[in-house]
Amino acid sequence: MASGATSRSEDEESLAGQKRGPAAASGAVPKRRSSSRFIKRKKFDDELVESSLAKPSRAKGGAEPGRCSGSEPSSSEKKKVSKVVPAPVVPSPVPAPGLAKRLKKSKQPVPVTKDLGRWKPADDLLLINAVLQTNDLSAVHLGVKFSCRFTLREVQERWLACQAMRQLHPEAIAAIQSKVLFSKAEELLLSRVGSGSQPSLDTFQDLLHKHPDVFYPSRTAKALQLHWQLMKQYYLLEDQTVQPLPKGDQVLNFSDAEDMVDDSKLKDVRDEVLEHELTVADRRQKREIRQLEQELHKWQVLVDSITGMSSPDFDSQTLAVLRGRMVRYLMRSREITLGRATKDNQIDVDLALEGPAWKISRKQGVIKLKNNGDFFIANEGRRPIYIDGRPVLGGSKWKLNNNSVVEIASLRFVFLINQDLIALIKAEAAKLAQQ
């Protein structure tokens, strides 16, 4: 190995001597070579780029002085060098965080946005049918509603690119063909049907049979009827002539227009079915009114169940409250009856809602509000009524004050008076008395 390396160095020295030229052979001093590049101070970014692109340095003494920059060693030489001088492994420098972020961003794939304006097979088929029917791309652009908005130029460019429509389902094709615009010839035939008549589906079916070359093949009698009704709504039929308004000084006013209207044409045709329905609805409403009148006494006293939550006792329509342990009876009329409700006897205050009431008469008593704002209770039952511990026998009455305790057959109630509402009633009564 040593002898091979020595012979190789001698060959390289001889080759270098041949390249030095005649100046060295004649003994003249060779001209010093220097770089023409100007020296500039390295910047921070240059250091980063150079450090990131740096290659592992060669081992000390591993440089070959006589090799040219353009020459490459042979495979045998590479094996010899690798065996004699092994190059140490130098770890690659870690790039700066800023550069690493830029590299990561550059490696990320660019997201491809979804083409929201792509033509669909249904749009292509609708475009072809509309153009074949109208022969006008501008009319198709204005009149046809596609799945998304397209410009006129996009419609023109798409006119010949409609291959995916062949893969549509037959039902989808039929639904799309029903949306094709009507041609002028078709609308001309439909406008001849009178606006005063009531054409049926047979009328439009006859039109399809008589003019198969004019109407689109997928037209149906129902589609023709719907389009005829739309034309009638916008006064596009032949017999719907609209009189032009006068210009200049002769401006049409409301009275002149009213005189021009023919009253005979405004008379409605009698509809027996509608009259029958109105009669039935009137009977139903009258029946509901009678039921409300029969249930009117139930609204004189409202029953409110007492819960653990504290609720206000009065509102703007409650005169007084008969409060028990389970329920509250809201008195909203000047006179109410107390007792026990049965099938044959309906009263305002059913005391059975509070507790056991088999000892209470069906009509036990009556509570009345006088014009002066005082409440009185009259006993009309067999058993006595106790007011603040005092018995009120049958056929007699007693005045009720605020917070009075009313006891009827082991059922106790507290009578509460709405003082604000009673004060208003007294004031109105005083005004009436002065007048």
pLDDT tens-digit map of 306-341: 665 555 667 778 889 888 888 888 888 889 899 988
Cα gap 329→391, rounded to integer Å? 22
* Segment 277-285 mean pLDDT: 93
Buried b (16+ CB within 10 A) or exposed e, 244-275: eeeeeeeeeeeeeeeeeeeeeeeeeeeeeeee
The whole-number average pLDDT for the span 146-152 is 89
Least confident of 44-58, 128-142, 250-264, 342-356: 44-58
DSSP annotation of 379: E
Please give the backbone phi and psi of residue 415, each rounded to the nearest 5 degrees, phi first.
-95, 115
Query: Helices 121-134 and 170-177 sit at what angle, rounded to 10 degrees?
Result: 40
Predicted pLDDT at 66: 45
Return d(Cα 172, Cα 125) in angstroms, integer. 10
**Contact between 322 and 406 (Cβ < 8 Å):** yes
DSSP E strands in 47-112: the ranges are: none
In tens, the pLDDT along 66-100 reads: 444 444 555 545 444 444 444 555 455 555 555 55
296 burial level (CB within 10 Å; 0-12, 13-18, 19+):
exposed
| pLDDT computed for residue 41 by the predictor | 60
Quick one: pLDDT at residue 64? Answer: 47
Inform me whether the pLDDT recorded for 388 exceeds 60: yes
Q: Which residues contact 381 (CB under 8 A, 6 or more apart)?
A: 339, 360, 361, 363, 364, 365, 394
Q: What's the confidence (pLDDT) of residue 214?
A: 92
- The burial class, CB within 10 Å (0-12 / 13-18 / 19+), for 338 is buried
**Are β-strands 375-379 and 397-400 bridged in parallel, bridged antiparallel, or unpaired?**
antiparallel
| Residue 402 or 103, more confident | 402
| CATH number assigned to the domain covering 297-434 | 2.60.200.20
**N-to-C CA span, the chain:** 146
Per-residue tokens: 359? 């000892």
The conformational region for residue 202 under phi > 0 = left, psi -120 to 50 = alpha, else beta, is alpha
**How far apart (Å, rounded) are the C-alpha atoms in residues 312 and 304?**
11
**pLDDT at residue 356, as a whole number:** 86
* Distance between CA atoms of residues 323 and 133, nearest Å: 82
Helix (H) or strand (E) holding 366: strand 365-369
pLDDT higher at 423 or 246: 423
Query: Average of pLDDT values for 351-363?
Result: 87
Total residue count of the chain as it appears in this document: 435
Backbone φ, ψ for residue 98 (5° rounding): -65, -45
- What is the rounded average pLDDT of the residues 165-185? 82
Lowest-confidence segment of 6-10, 60-64, 188-192, 222-226 by average pLDDT: 60-64
pLDDT band at 399 (very low <50, low <70, confident <90, very high): very high
Q: Between 113 and 255, whose confidence is greater?
A: 255
- The first and second tokens of residue 52, run together, are 């990131």
The gap from C-alpha 4 to its chain's centroid, in whole angstroms, comes to 88
pLDDT at 343 (0 to 100): 82
- What span, in angstroms and rounded, lies between the C-alpha atoms of 227 and 234? 11
In this predicted structure, the answer to whether residue 157 has a pLDDT above a threshold of 70 is: yes
Residue 403 in 3-state DSSP? Answer: coil
Higher pLDDT, 91 or 250: 250
How many other C-beta atoms can be found within 10 angstroms of the C-beta atom of residue 86? Answer: 10
Domain boundaries, the chain: 121-177, 184-233, 297-434
Please state whether 409 falls in left (phi above 0), alpha (psi between -120 and 50) or beta. Answer: left
Average pLDDT score, the chain: 75
Q: What is the pLDDT confidence band of residue 63, given thresholds at 50, 70 and 90?
A: very low
In sequence order, what are the residues at sequence separation of 6 or more whose Cβ sits closer than 8 angstroms to the Cβ of residue 302? 329, 330, 332
